[in-house]
Chains A and B, each alone.
Chain A
């Protein structure tokens, strides 16, 4: 009888491997197959496949793994592998693949081409999964990653179930599903999708991905708040004046005009990324650092977000759409001139909302959030502005004392900065604001791994901490729906237009101006 290392036999009498004790704890010990739906798409090429390759290089992927691409495109197995290698050469942080390692890695890659509503294609997928279990020792553990357009999410889940690939038919191993954002395009569609997914997968098997949550500075929000004693005592309405959360992009809609016409900035960014950031900043300390404790606190704070009534929407939200202008010396077209975009489009490429959280901690502290495309600079940050000092001890010398600000920088820089007042050296009492910066890159001398690597690795380990639970998704939709419905009913005003490369529309400036505040410069 021949034996093979690659087909581990269960032998409980042997016990665990004593040589593993104390070694790298990050290693994924469960063998598994990862099925990527949408494997001919941009996300797979730019992010997902390079992430898988780097997980392998980093020793996070187990020895027994299979990668199966699934999309509508007709590709041979060889073409799938060749385009995969080209993607890694172009987009992987580790550079072009090493021959020996690539040959080993690509030997575990398979491709299935076909329609998402064709049961036969799913049967073909099942055959490959079963072959891999036999050949690669993947032990019937399956991770499905939906990186397709959201319109086919429900169909894929339905077909997985119909083909016997759902968890109830897989009694030998585990089944998990990662679902890309957006989870629905409205409250109703999100609930309909949830109903479909929940029919097949339990909540603990569903990993709703928001890659922002995999970024190092976002994870550091918890450390900043709960691993330091100096911030939490002042993290409340007594000391904080307001909080601004910004997710600004310089890119336009690129080739996604058709998708964006059904989305917009509020759906695309604020309902998920930005509200998740808000929850991390505003939540109460969790009792433990496990997934459910953290997600319980996030859900609680989101439920405390004050709903905006229809009649008040213009006082709480502003939108914009970019018109042609210059950015980095390039003349760029208006949104309505982009491919796939209607000439009369009413879709917002910029959204700003003022939220309140009705809790003891945050009563009447405004959370100003904004996100937009084709703005002056790429910048994602959370800025916590503290209240003015209560008494001007230094008279005129203190006229220029700015409010203390703590900024958590998410991208492109990653770090934390604090602004405080200091005396300018000299015989006179001149006071000026100074900035103290901490940058992750220089502070720890390490470059963060891309968010997708972290998140895929977490899903393979069964750690859902950085994924969004359904209750939080639902309440986020509940809070933004009145704004979306109002905007769908009313045409964009002239004050909502903003020039490419600017700070955003005047209507957004007015939103803060009415409160006597200003947006931070992007």
Chain B
């Protein structure tokens, strides 16, 4: 295959100049997520001066004839390529010849297969890879795979939308323990119960607590504290609920409950300490949609140490 044949048509008026700040490569899957992922990519391409490259298994196509190549706007070009019949080596080679040099390349791995190291290697330097572990409901090994990927591509920032979705919840949990009266109970936490959200999102919350509190992963059986107590984890997914709706934290002598209101704009915090109910608090909450989360991922600088520490906690044996 000769990738040099793929010349991108420049459809600007004479004298006009354009700028691109990003190569955004979206590798779609063939499942129900495809349409939503495509829409999100287009949303971002409309907002950013981006070279958008969509790798799409539907319809089946070949690299020699991109299914469509056209301008989204004066400063954002899009290349839509059917890739079902191609191997990762071919696709990666094509991408490496198509991306604009000297600007960041972001790969959104929006499909249900494990992320391909070979594909990423073939592209060359990918600045950032975005995945969504929530898509991998059946795969217990997802965190181990991500950690292995991260260990191999040390110069590539790894983002996970399932982790980013938990930002508001992490902030709210931290808020509860900003108060010394509650903080003295933090190390005695013994159970976490999460309702709603995906398994990955719920486990990231636990992984984050584990990384902050020094809990040890007990070979997939849960966590135990430094002094050997087990910390119970329970996740109740709700089919009709896309996002986490409630988190309960039980400590030896205190209980905390965070509940998302029906408009998903505020969290109500209930605290019971030493058998006393405390005044209810309300915290602002913003649940970003996936396009917004991808933007957040793109705009983040460097590595996300908190995420990496949480990922390590979920993988440690």
Contacts and interface: CB of A to CB of B under 8 A. Distances in A.
B316 interface: no
B171 A59 contact: yes
Contacts of A20: 174, 178
B182 A5 contact: yes
Given A445-B47, A446-B299, A11 B276 contact: no
A11 B47 contact: no
Contact of B177 (A17, A59, A425, A438): A17
Contacts of A425: 14
A10 B183 CA distance: 11
B295 to A, nearest CB: 5
A120 B48 CA distance: 56
Contact of B174 (A9, A23, A104): A23
B19 A3 contact: no
A311 interface: no
Contacts of B209: 19
B273 A14 contact: no
Interface in A2-44: 2-6, 8-11, 14, 17-24
A252 to B, nearest CB: 35
A448 to B, nearest CB: 13
Interface in A287-316: none
A59 B167 CA distance: 12
A434 B19 contact: no
Contacts of B180: 8-11, 14
A424 B181 CA distance: 72
Contacts of B182: 5
B213 interface: yes
Given A442-B47, A445-B295, A17 B174 contact: yes
A233 interface: no
Given A4-B279, A14-B180, A98 B266 contact: yes
A104 B178 CA distance: 18
Given A434-B17, A442-B49, A19 B286 contact: no
A360 interface: no
A485 interface: no
A22 B21 contact: no
B11 interface: no
A370 to B, nearest CB: 28
Interface string B246-277: 00000000000000010101101001011010
A237 interface: no
A427 interface: no
B44 interface: yes
Given A5-B179, A14-B180, A446-B299, A63 B281 contact: yes
Nearest to A417: B17
Given A10-B180, A19-B174, A57 B299 contact: no
Given A20-B178, A24-B171, A422-B15, A56 B284 contact: yes
Contact of B278 (A5, A104, A438, A444): A5
B17 A3 contact: no
A57 B168 CA distance: 11
Contacts of B299: 444-446
A9 B299 CA distance: 38
Most chain B CB within a 10 A radius of its CB, from A5, A100, A103: A5
Contacts of B212: 18-19, 21
Contact of A19 (B15, B75, B177): B177
B255 to A, nearest CB: 13
Contacts of B49: 442-443
Contacts of A63: 175, 178, 281, 283
Contacts of B276: 2-3
A8 B181 CA distance: 7
Contacts of B186: 17-19
Interface in B168-199: 170-171, 173-184, 186
A434 B12 CA distance: 13
A432 B15 contact: yes
Contacts of A514: none
A466 B261 CA distance: 37
A258 B283 CA distance: 43
B298 to A, nearest CB: 8
A436 interface: yes
A331 interface: no
A435 interface: yes
A131 interface: no
B16 interface: yes
Interface string A41-61: 000000000000000111100
18 contacts: A3-B276, A3-B278, A5-B179, A5-B271, A5-B281, A8-B181, A9-B180, A11-B180, A21-B212, A56-B284, A57-B284, A59-B171, A59-B283, A98-B263, A101-B265, A104-B281, A436-B19, A442-B48
What 4 A-B pairs come out closest when comparing CB atoms? A445-B47, A22-B306, A19-B174, A436-B17
